[in-house]
Amino acid sequence: MFNKKKIISVFTLVTLSAFALTGCGDTKKAEPAKPAQTAVRTSIKVGVTAGPHAEVMEVVKKVAAKDGLTIQIVEFNDYMQPNIALNQGEIDANSYQHQPWLDNQIQDRKYEIVSIAKTIIFPMGIYSKKIKNLNELNPGASIAVPNDPTNGARALAILEKQGLIKIKPEAGLKATAKDIVDNPRNLKIKELDAAQIPRVLGRCD
């Protein structure tokens, strides 16, 4: 993702430069404006979430260095801060989210950021330190899912696919625990910040 304001600023600068070349001077015929030279960036700040995205970016950093680009990696411990920092111009780009999450953030928070390329997306699964098979899941067991409207819906869809719950079909990618219409095992769905879930794994089933 990139900050749209920075892109607009560059465009404005190029436009004003062209205007200055053609609109200034005396009675002599103005010379055609020459194309503005775009400065080549040699360094960039990229925001990532701690863990796999940070590890991948470390490899990207090494590859980019061979081409003369220095990447400064900025790690965040939650999923909200990378977009906040990007929108405020504290970083130049970030790499950690999928498109539905970005779309939701732009819609809800009016961010002026845009997607310029695809990044890696990790598959979501069901993990436990207590059981090895879902058949061992006791009635009333606790299950932690992300509390954001896109990853939370992905997690609930996995539980539904395994026959553990049923959710309203119309809920789609914004489904939450409130959209569960059938919960035969009376599972306790705990909606937590995604970054916290690995830390509470031992306390859930």
- pLDDT tens digits, one per residue of 47-60: 999 889 999 999 99
**How far is residue 191 from each of residues 107, 176, 194, 196, 204, measured CA to CA in Å?**
22, 8, 9, 10, 12
Contacts of 71 (CB under 8 A, 6+ apart): 43, 44, 45, 46, 57, 60, 61, 64, 65
- 15-35 confidence digits (pLDDT tens): 222 232 323 334 444 455 565
- pLDDT average, residue stretch 172-192: 94
Q: Report pTM.
A: 0.68
Domains, the chain, ranges and CATH? 2-114 (3.40.190.10), 134-203 (3.40.190.10)
Backbone torsions φ then ψ of 13, nearest 5 degrees? -60, -45
Identify the residue with better confidence: 12 or 194.
194
